[in-house]
Amino acid sequence: MQKLTGNKKKNVAVFISGNGSNLKNLINHSLKKKSKFKVCLVISNNSKAKGLYFAKKFNIKNKIIKYSNIKIAEKKAILELKKNNIKLICLAGFMKILSKSFIKKFCGKIINIHPSLLPKYKGLNTHQRAINNNERYSGCSVHYVNQKLDSGKIILQKKVKILKNDTSKKLAKRILKQEHLLFPKALNKVLSSL
Ligand code: GRF
């Protein structure tokens, strides 16, 4: 007899600000049978974010929330998260810093993808900084979000070799490809322990 409990996909929200290639990739993964998650909500702080197109295309509830007043913005976000029974928040190119109280409220329930081998190169402009420092490798990390920028516990990482004459654009492109493999894997890993 088919098992009815324990195999239900968990609702996740994805926060974006821009292109949304990770969002698109997570949506595609969520449609697979073996996926443990379903993207039920997309929140963008930017009404012009290209990623919103994917939410609309796949008929996923999407909300534009201006983060000019963070308190008001997070109140709205919390309401949506509750309404949609969201179990986990994925930050995928979300360019706003979440408040300490928001992070505390969703402790262990927010994950982020970052384009470097953390703890190296937190913050912005990661590829150029890695190239400038003559690193042999860079990569990407999926980590829990805590109250310090890009410092939460690492869930999964993938190394990418930095090539001779690499530019930050070329490196970013190769790393993004790996991000698309890593993020759904990390998400499934987190959800299997929730
Ligand atoms: C990715 O490189 C991610 O690691 C960083 O922002 C970029 C977002 O890309 N946090 P996209 O919007 O998912 O295409």
Q: Please tell me the predicted confidence (pLDDT) of residue 6.
A: 55
Residue nearest to atom 5 of ligand 1 (CA): 93
Q: What distance in Å separates the CA atoms of residue 42 and residue 51, rounded to the nearest whole number?
A: 9
CA–CA separation, 76 and 64 (whole Å): 10
Is 29 in the active site? no
pLDDT, tens only, 35-82: 999 999 999 999 999 999 999 999 999 999 999 999 999 999 999 999
Would you report the helix, strand and coil content of the chain in percent, each value rounded to 5? Answer: 35, 25, 40
Ligand 1 binding pocket mutation candidate from 91, 138, 179 (most atoms within 8 A of CB): 179
* Model pLDDT for residues 94-111, shown as the tens digit of each residue: 999 999 999 999 999 999
Residue with CA nearest ligand 1 atom 14: 21
pLDDT at 5 over 80: no
From 168, 190, 39, 53, select the one nearest 115 (Cα to Cα).
168
Report the nearest atom of ligand 1 relative to the CA of 21: 14
Give the CATH superfamily of 10-115+141-157+182-192: Formyl transferase, N-terminal domain (3.40.50.170)
Pocket test for ligand 1, best of 117, 141, 176 (most atoms within 8 A of CB): 176
Whether the predicted model's global pTM rises above the 0.85 cut: yes
From 114, 127, 143, 180, active-site residue: 114
CB 126 within 8 A of CB 116: yes
162 pLDDT above the threshold of 50: yes
| Ligand 1 atom with minimal separation from the 18 CA | 12
Residue 194 pLDDT level (bands cut at 50, 70, 90): confident
- Range from 1-15, 32-46, 77-91 carrying the lowest mean pLDDT: 1-15
Q: Are 88 and 37 in contact (CB under 8 A)?
A: yes
Q: Which pLDDT belongs to residue 2?
A: 41
CB-based contact 62:77 (threshold 8 Å): no
Would you say 12 and 35 are in contact if contact means Cβ atoms under 8 Å apart? no
Kindly give, in sequence order, each residue whose CB lies less than 8 Å from that of residue 192, ignoring residues fewer than 6 positions away. Answer: 36
